[in-house]
Amino acid sequence: MYIGIDLGGTNVGIGIVDSENKLIYKDSIPTKRENEFNDIIEDIIALISKTINVNNIPKSHIQGIGIGIPGIVDPKSQIIIDCVNLRWNNVDIKSAIEEKLSIPVFVGNDATVAGVAELVVGAMKGYHTGVLLTLGTGIGGGIIINGHVYDGFHGIGSEIGHMIVGENYYNCNCGRNGCLETFSSSTAIIKHARKLIEEGNDSAIITEVKGNLNSIDGKVIFDQAKAGDKVACKVIGRMTNYLAIGIMNIISIIDPEVFVIGGGLSAAGEYLISMLREKVSQKTYYKGMDVGKILLSDIGNDGGIIGAASLCKYR
pLDDT for the residue numbered 289 = 74
Dihedral pair phi/psi, residue 61, rounded to 5°: -85, -10
Q: Please tell me whether residues 132 and 246 are part of one structural domain.
A: yes
Instruction: Please report, in angstroms and rounded to a whole number, the separation of the first and last CA atoms in the chain.
Output: 16
Backbone Cα Rg of the chain: 20
Residue 199 neighbours by CB under 8 Å, 6+ apart: none
Q: Are residues 129 and 265 in the same domain?
A: yes
- DSSP 8-state assignment for residue 151: -
CA nearest neighbour of 311 among 11, 61, 17: 17
The neighbouring-strand residues paired with 14 are 5, 27
Number of domains in the chain: 2
Q: How far apart, in whole angstroms, are the C-alpha atoms of residue 181 and residue 179? A: 5
Query: Which residues lie across from 116 on neighbouring strands?
Result: none
Same domain flag for 84 and 136? no
Q: Note down pLDDT in tens along the chain; length 315 residues.
A: 999 999 987 889 999 999 889 999 999 999 888 888 999 999 999 999 999 999 999 999 999 999 999 888 998 899 999 887 788 999 999 999 999 999 999 999 888 899 999 999 999 999 999 999 999 888 989 999 999 888 888 888 888 999 999 999 999 988 999 999 999 999 999 999 999 999 999 999 999 999 999 999 999 999 999 999 999 999 999 999 999 999 999 999 999 999 999 988 999 999 999 999 999 998 887 777 778 899 999 887 788 899 999 998 876
Judgement on whether residues 246 and 100 belong to the same structural domain of the protein: no
Task: State whether 153 and 260 are in the same domain.
Answer: yes
Instruction: Please name the residue ranges forming H helices in 199-286.
Output: 204-208, 218-226, 230-253, 270-283
Neighbours of 209 (CB within 10 A): 17
Q: What is the pLDDT of residue 246?
A: 97
Q: Do 111 and 226 belong to one domain?
A: no
Query: Can you say whether the dihedral through the CA atoms of 48, 50, 55, 58 is positive or negative?
Result: positive
178 and 152 in a single domain? The answer is yes
* Bridge partners for 65 per DSSP: 3, 105
Q: What is the pLDDT of residue 131?
A: 96
The CATH number linked to 198 is 3.30.420.40
- Residue 189's H or E segment, with its range, is helix 186-198
Looking at the fold, whether 226 and 306 belong to one and the same domain comes out as: no
Q: Which residues contact 151 (CB under 8 A, 6 or more apart)?
A: 73, 75, 108, 109, 112, 143, 157, 158
* Residues sharing a CB contact under 8 Å with residue 244, sequence separation 6 or more, in sequence order: 276, 279, 280, 282, 283
8 A C-beta contact, residue 297 and residue 268 = no
Query: So what's the pLDDT on residue 10?
Result: 81
Indicate whether 191 and 58 sit together in one domain: no
Show the domain range for 45.
2-119+301-314
